[in-house]
Amino acid sequence: MTKDLDSAEGLAMRPVADGGRFDQTSVALHWLTVLLIIGQFTAAWLREAVDHETSLAVAILATHRAMGVLIWIVGLVRLVWRHNFAYLPPFPESMPKLQQSIAKANEYGLYALLFLQPITGLARGLFGDKPFELFIWQVPALEPNSVIHILSREVHEFGAKALLALVGLHAGAALFHRLVLRDGVLERMSLWTSRCESLRTLHGVDRTTRNKSSPCLSCIYAGWIHIEGAVMFAMSRSVTNAVVAVVGLFSMLVVAMPAARADDRELAQALRAGDLVIAVRHGATFPDQADTDPLNFDNVAAQRNLNDKGKALAKAFGEALRQAGVPIGKVYTSKYNRAYETAVIAGFKDIEKTTDLTEGGLIVSPNENSRRAEAFRKMLGTAPAPHTNTILITHQPNIVAALGKDWFDVKEGEASIFRPVDGSYKLVARVHMDEWPRIATAAK
């Protein structure tokens, strides 16, 4: 009897398909896809849980993109394998045609979304406003296109919800087959052949000839002998899979971070060389304050002013530029105190307030707002004094009016760095205020 059971165990662990199972390669690719999808959603949810302006959020997003590309590659391999080499077991005869059609539609939908999501995610980055990291490479942004950027973002977010729904339907159906119908559908894609199924085959027990709710006599007879080994084997498989998933996620984070540091060094070198214009939205402010006396800029108490975070980050901004050896020339600010104070706390000299960077809103005419936007663009295209950088500190409405919808989400303290070119300007990078210390460190 022991010899027969050992033979059954060997049969269970052979990496080949039996009559009711997918082949081992198909099974392995399926579960690899599952791990990558879990990693994708985990990364997306983690990024939502942290401040988007931090370096951690940048690393998580880089990991999310990398796993998206891996999903695309694994999906392509799955299709090639499925078309040319895979063993595809038929549906159980007891499964109604409607259920078979739903299962097929769900499968095709999953494949379509697994290919679509990485494409829309990368398009969102490519047509954004700055380069991004992908594995060990720095991917340059294409010419910003707000239509493609917004469309790809909307399709990507909708696709994520659709993918989550289809994955839930797929998993729910698998559990329904396993716990209610008990027709062996889930076992067809299990990571290893069930010991119970092998023992049935060995002892000639036919699933279809016994009551589904009855215990398998051969399993009762033989299962107790090796139950400890079976439990340990299953536990080792589960632990191994968990370790692989964690190590894989950690490895991609490690790969993504050096690329971000390399980009920081390049940016620091460009800033040290000078000839750039840095347009900054003023630092963080009190959300419960408003400009109640917008015609009197001397009445600081009636304005929305910097909060403690805004002051601290403005100070760190200036210190980081000095630490990185970035030469600063002229500094122009809005007439509102929050913009001027950002420059003062940063430690800049030669500060000049100008109407051209001051928020107009509804208190000035549309023509005046248009004039200020054009003046802002002209300042971006004006070359600084040789080997220095010009700094412009202004407001979100001014930035959007001058630069377009791609800047509608510009954060308080965020800087957009431009290189003047023949009276126009070219975007070099966008940097959040809390990222400047990291850039200064990379410059060493």
165 shares its domain with 305: no
3-state SS, residue 360: coil
Write down the pLDDT at residue 198. Answer: 46
Q: Is residue 269 part of a domain?
A: no
77 shares its domain with 36: yes
Measured between alpha carbons, how far is 12 from 25 in angstroms, rounded to an integer? 15
Measured between alpha carbons, how far is 169 from 347 in angstroms, rounded to an integer? 58
For residue 53, the tally of other CB atoms under 10 A from its CB is 18
Whether the per-residue pLDDT at 393 is higher than 90: the answer is yes
244 shares its domain with 347: no
256 shares its domain with 117: yes
Q: What pLDDT digit, counting tens, does each position of 87-144 carry?
A: 888 888 888 888 888 988 988 999 899 899 989 988 888 886 667 778 877 777 777 6
Whether the per-residue pLDDT at 255 is higher than 80: the answer is no
Q: Is residue 37 part of a domain?
A: yes
152 shares its domain with 285: no
222 shares its domain with 323: no
Best CA proximity match to 328, nearest among 375, 281, 278, 374: 278
Write down the pLDDT at residue 244. Answer: 47
Residues 178-193, mean pLDDT to the nearest whole number: 76
Q: Is the dihedral of CA 306, 311, 313, 314 positive or negative?
A: positive
Write down the pLDDT at residue 274. Answer: 92
Q: Is residue 266 part of a domain?
A: no
For residue 19, the tally of other CB atoms under 10 A from its CB is 8
Q: Which long-range contacts (CB under 8 A, 24 or more apart) does 291-300 make?
A: 291/336, 291/359, 294/361, 294/363, 295/363, 297/335, 297/336, 297/337, 300/337
Q: What pLDDT digit, counting tens, does each position of 262-287 carry?
A: 378 888 889 999 999 999 999 999 98
Residues 72-95, mean pLDDT to the nearest whole number: 87
Measured between alpha carbons, how far is 426 from 418 in angstroms, rounded to an integer? 5
Write down the pLDDT at residue 183. Answer: 76
240 shares its domain with 324: no
Q: Is residue 6 part of a domain?
A: yes
Write down the pLDDT at residue 193. Answer: 54
Q: Is residue 265 part of a domain?
A: no
Residue 137 — φ and ψ, nearest 5°? -110, 155
The residue among 238, 260, 282 that closes a domain is 260
Measured between alpha carbons, how far is 47 from 53 in angstroms, rounded to an integer? 10
32 shares its domain with 175: yes
Measured between alpha carbons, how far is 224 from 219 in angstroms, rounded to an integer? 8
Q: Is the dihedral of CA 419, 318, 407, 400 positive or negative?
A: negative
Q: What pLDDT digit, counting tens, does each position of 318-359 carry?
A: 999 999 999 999 999 999 999 999 999 999 998 999 999 999
**How does strand 277-281 pair with strand 389-394?**
parallel
198 shares its domain with 99: yes
Q: How confident is the model at residue 291 (pLDDT cuts 50, 70, 90)?
A: very high
Name the domain count of the chain.
2
Task: Indicate the residue type of 195.
Answer: R
Q: Is residue 309 part of a domain?
A: yes
The CATH number assigned to the domain holding 428 equals 3.40.50.1240
Q: Is the pTM of this model over 0.75?
A: no
Q: Which of 43-57, 124-138, 182-196 has the lowest mean pLDDT?
A: 182-196
139 shares its domain with 199: yes
Q: b/e for 353-371, b at 16 or more Cβ within 10 A?
A: bbebbbbbeeebeeeebee
Q: Is residue 268 part of a domain?
A: no
The CATH number assigned to the domain holding 217 equals 1.20.950
Percent of the chain with pLDDT over 70: 77
290 shares its domain with 394: yes
Q: Is residue 362 part of a domain?
A: yes
Residues 166-188, mean pLDDT to the nearest whole number: 83
Residue 383 — φ and ψ, nearest 5°? -65, 135
Across 109-118, 226-235, 329-338, 427-436, which has the greatest mean pLDDT?
A: 329-338
Write down the pLDDT at residue 225. Answer: 37
Across 145-159, 243-257, 315-329, which has the greatest mean pLDDT?
A: 315-329
Best CA proximity match to 111, nearest among 89, 85, 79: 79
The residue among 227, 260, 293 that closes a domain is 260
Element (H, E) at 329: strand 328-333
The residue among 210, 234, 260 that closes a domain is 260
Q: In whole angstroms, how far apart are CA 293 and each of 288, 341, 363?
A: 15, 18, 11
For 425, the domain range is: 274-442
7 shares its domain with 155: yes
Measured between alpha carbons, how far is 221 from 204 in angstroms, rounded to an integer? 13
